[in-house]
Amino acid sequence: MTTTASPIKFLSQIAAEAAARRKELLGGKTRHIVQVAHCSLAVGADKVVAAVRQAVGENEVIIVAGCDGTCFQAPKTVTIAPDGRREVKGHGVESDFFALQKRIAMDGCGEIDATDVDDYLAHGGYAGLAKALSMSPEAVIEEVKASGLRGRGGAYFPAAMKWEGARKVRNSPKYLVVNAEEGEPGIFKDRHLMEGVPHRIIEGMAIAAYATGINEAYVYINAEANLSAHRMEKAIARAKAAGLLCEKILGSDFTLNVTIMRGAGGYVCGEETTLLNTMEGYRREPRLRPPFPTTAGLWAKPTVINNCETLANVPFIMAKGAKAYAAIGAWPSDSKTPPNQRASGTKIVSLSGSVHRPGVVELPMGTTLRQIIEAVGNGPMAGHALTGVAVGGPSSGVFPTSMLDTQIAPGLLHESGVMLGAGGVIALDERTPALDVVRRLAAYNAAESCGKCTPCREGTPRMVDALDRILSGKGAQSDIEELRYLADVVGAASLCGLGQAAGSPITSALRFFGDEIAMRVASGAR
């Protein structure tokens, strides 16, 4: 790479100018931070912003931030006096909510102005990009490889291997696509990042694009995530104005153009080849693989697809170093496993269901489900007892309480098909029986099947029918056998991840709730 000046020096100049503007804007004034996100809008955060705007005096400023993850407190405001004193207003008590958390991707969420580039720079933003642009693309890939970063969308493929594969392909142009579809129930972490720290995603995009030799990037945002799209658009515009996007980024020869595209709607659009199909104007159906997107993706050109959380980890790796990242939550923890074969770092978990403190939390790999539900979520709702936990989303399954000491880790958490997926954790109590949840997951997968491949199109509704017969007391032993057969066949013969994992809720139910299923069949047979 040839540069006309040091990117680090360029960033230093930009950051100094930003600091001067912030001092003029905020110096000696009381700051009222209002957390506005898709969660808090549902309980009137926009009205709180309007009220605070009317009330602020000459020596006060209002900052609209994303949510810090304490969704149970929404709408939440934080007032910071010039002497540093803080006053928090919101529902519930956060106390030790943050004690187990390690914030890398979510660092600054709820504290900084969501789209303001000056605020992000003041928190060390774009330092990772400046360092990356001072290195060769190959060295950037090696640094990310040494960190052990794996994709955070569910498949957990090593990020650097994907980048390396795309870089080696001799075909151009190449594209970067940010998968921000995130349409499944119980998962809301990518929206959280786009609403709270959009500049971190942009910085991660720029580093990934530089490492892979890409100059065109697209952010594919769920059709219903309007606030996410709005904040990403504003942040991109401000990054361009500051010389952090578009041509000659930070004085280098690197150029990156970014375009936002809205999703076509539907869970299957999160599958990367379906996403590419919809970007090209085709039906929302997956493509046969190979070829894989890294060799023939968008418009048949090499394409790197990463989700928001994956990219939001990259600035930390570049700014702090691979060793610092690899030391966090290293999994497995034995010393024999090389760092680049571990899944290190953190995972953002969308915590909901029967807990006192639902929200979005970022925890080191290896944290147990019990810690997430009891220490972070503060346990089940008063007067109710925990009966199980749905983990990972509709393509995963349900654990009984005996599995609460399971540690979160990439991929499968149990051979029955329960996996971490995109990081949903839903606590269940006696009001929501585990088998009812399994039936809902199966019905969701059946409804969201695009219908392209026969096993998924025909098999997923048959799973729901069999579950309905069993749950209504009209089932037979043959229904259990059919469920087991369908879960295997649909998983083995489907084209994409939706069908391949559609049997996981079934297999986890047969493994952990087999006695209850057998009792229901037996009671119906009498």
pLDDT, tens only, 290-302: 999 999 999 999 9
Give residue-wise pLDDT tens across range 133-175. Answer: 999 999 999 999 999 999 998 889 999 999 999 999 999 999 9
pLDDT-derived band at 264 (thresholds 50, 70, 90) equals confident
pLDDT-derived band at 123 (thresholds 50, 70, 90) equals very high
Joined together, the tokens standing for residue 353 give 């269901």
In which residue are the tokens 């259990």 written? 480
Q: Rounded to a whole number, what is the largest CA-CA distance in the chain?
A: 83
Residue 183: predicted pLDDT? 86
Q: Residues of the chain with pLDDT > 90: what percent?
A: 89
Q: Is pTM beyond 0.85 here?
A: yes
* Count of CA atoms in the C-beta half-sphere (13 A) of 413: 32
pLDDT-derived band at 92 (thresholds 50, 70, 90) equals confident
Residue 289 has pLDDT above 60, yes or no: yes
Average pLDDT over residues 182-189: 91
Residue 341: predicted pLDDT? 55
Residue 215: predicted pLDDT? 98
pLDDT-derived band at 74 (thresholds 50, 70, 90) equals very high
pLDDT-derived band at 266 (thresholds 50, 70, 90) equals confident
Give CA–CA dist 196/193, Å, rounded: 5
Residue 94 has pLDDT above 80, yes or no: no
Residue 3: predicted pLDDT? 44
Residue 1: predicted pLDDT? 44
Q: Give the residue ranges of DSSP H helices in 335-426.
A: 369-370
Average pLDDT over residues 32-52: 95
Average pLDDT of the residues of the chain:
93
Residue 411: predicted pLDDT? 86
Joined together, the tokens standing for residue 1 give 């790479």
In which residue are the tokens 């000046």 written? 5
Give residue-wise pLDDT tens across range 462-478. Answer: 999 999 999 999 999 99
Give CA–CA dist 348/376, Å, rounded: 13
Contact, 434 vs 387, CB < 8 A?
yes
Residue 5 has pLDDT above 60, yes or no: yes
Joined together, the tokens standing for residue 137 give 């693309």
Average pLDDT over residues 421-433: 95
Residue 4 has pLDDT above 60, yes or no: no
β-strand partners of 389: 399, 427
Give residue-wise pLDDT tens across range 334-346. Answer: 666 665 556 789 9
Residue 502 has pLDDT above 60, yes or no: yes
Residue 459 has pLDDT above 50, yes or no: yes
pLDDT-derived band at 332 (thresholds 50, 70, 90) equals low
Average pLDDT over residues 395-408: 95
Q: Residues of the chain with pLDDT > 70: what percent?
A: 96
Which residue has better confidence, 2 or 228? 228
Which residue has better confidence, 95 or 501? 501
3-state helix, strand, coil in the chain (%, to 5): 45, 15, 40
